[in-house]
């Protein structure tokens, strides 16, 4: 009888441990003035920030090639989940904490008065934080993006160059003026090397941690602006008036290298493709 009770107690202990691990991953979410932060529970002050969101590109939400986003959010944030409802109607971001970062689900409904073209995109700023709470370990330019030849340093002739999605090259080129420039070209000059995946990676200054952001649909990869940030523009077009699109993404934050993160990204993207909802997917 005693052994039976001991066995039951052990089983309950194991179940509680499993549930605890599921309920409390190695990251937690916190609200900040412009979005949400993803914080490690393993190391104090190891966090990254997602500013939701900063810019429109190619006619998303507002007509024009390059316009300011509205980052005034109505936020519901717990350590495990966050929902951000943007000041622009029809734009919502759901965030779920995971052991190695966070899951992102961006739901966008076109409530504007115009259809959004294929290149319509939004830029959410992923960064090491504002001055007072900045994560100094990620306040650097050890940044990479995915190119046809593998991971490439996000720094060319100019550190703020923008690397466009190679699949959209023809469409993007058509939108340039006679001199090949865009509304943002003064601050984000066009790079010669294109991006092939929606992924930006940064390693910590001491080389022990890695972070990154990924979106299943993207327009371009760019970074190293005043907040030493990473801009991965999420492509939400084409989207007709009244239509809705769901775009999936990931934030990564864990101890490891850029190669470790790339491996996780490839596996995660494969999993997301196999589980897409055909009615409201990211394709």
CA dist., res. 106 & res. 195, Å (int): 21
Asked whether residue 15 is domain-assigned, the answer is no
What string of DSSP letters covers 114-160? S-B-TT-EEEEEEES--GGG--GGG-S--EEEEETTEEEES-SSSTT
Q: What is the mean pLDDT of residues 178-204?
A: 96
Let me know: does 247 contact 237? Beta carbons within 8 Å: no
Asked whether residue 20 is domain-assigned, the answer is no
Asked whether residue 225 is domain-assigned, the answer is yes
pLDDT grade for 258, boundaries at 50, 70 and 90: very high
The pTM (predicted TM-score) of the whole model is 0.88
What are the tens digits of pLDDT across the range 51-101? 999 999 999 999 999 999 998 999 999 999 999 999 999 999 999 999 999
Q: Which two structure tokens, joined as six digits, stand for 42?
A: 């393993």
For residue 189, give Cα distances in angstroms to 21, 73, 96, 228, 279: 45, 30, 34, 17, 37
Q: Tokens 């058509």 — which residue?
A: 174
Asked whether residue 2 is domain-assigned, the answer is no
Asked whether residue 21 is domain-assigned, the answer is no
The enclosing domain of 235 has a CATH number of 2.70.98
Asked whether residue 189 is domain-assigned, the answer is yes
What are the tens digits of pLDDT across the range 112-144? 999 999 999 999 999 999 999 999 999 999 999
Asked whether residue 10 is domain-assigned, the answer is no
DSSP reduced 3-state for 283: coil
Which structural domain, as residue segments, surrounds residue 174? Answer: 26-274
Domain count, the chain: 1
Q: Which residues pair with 92 in a beta bridge?
A: 85, 107
Asked whether residue 8 is domain-assigned, the answer is no
pLDDT at 128: 97
């Amino acid at each position: 009888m005693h052994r039976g009770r001991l066995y039951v107690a052990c089983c309950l202990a194991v179940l509680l441990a499993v549930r605890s691990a599921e309920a409390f991953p190695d990251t937690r979410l916190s609200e900040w003035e412009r979005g949400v932060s993803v914080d490690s529970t393993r190391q104090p002050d190891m966090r990254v920030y997602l500013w939701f969101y900063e810019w429109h590109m190619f006619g998303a939400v507002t007509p024009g090639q390059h316009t300011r986003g509205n980052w005034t959010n109505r936020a519901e944030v717990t350590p495990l989940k966050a929902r951000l409802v943007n000041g622009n109607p029809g734009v919502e971001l759901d965030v779920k904490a995971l052991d190695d970062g966070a899951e992102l689900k961006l739901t966008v409904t076109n409530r504007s008065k115009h259809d959004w073209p294929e290149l319509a995109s939004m830029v959410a700023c992923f960064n090491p934080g504002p001055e007072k709470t900045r994560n100094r370990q990620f306040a650097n330019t050890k940044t990479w993006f995915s190119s046809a030849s593998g991971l490439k340093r996000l720094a060319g002739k100019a550190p703020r160059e923008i690397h466009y999605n190679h699949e959209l090259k023809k469409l993007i080129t058509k939108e340039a003026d006679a001199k090949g420039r865009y509304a943002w070209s003064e601050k984000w000059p066009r790079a010669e090397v294109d991006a092939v995946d929606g992924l930006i990676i940064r390693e910590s200054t001491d080389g022990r941690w890695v972070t990154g952001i990924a979106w299943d649909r993207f327009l371009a990869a760019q970074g190293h602006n005043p907040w030493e940030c990473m801009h991965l523009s999420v492509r939400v077009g084409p989207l007709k008036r009244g239509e809705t699109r769901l775009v999936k993404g990931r934030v990564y934050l864990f101890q490891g290298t850029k190669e470790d993160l790339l491996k996780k990204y490839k596996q995660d993207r494969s999993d997301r493709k196999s589980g897409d909802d055909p009615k409201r997917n990211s394709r």
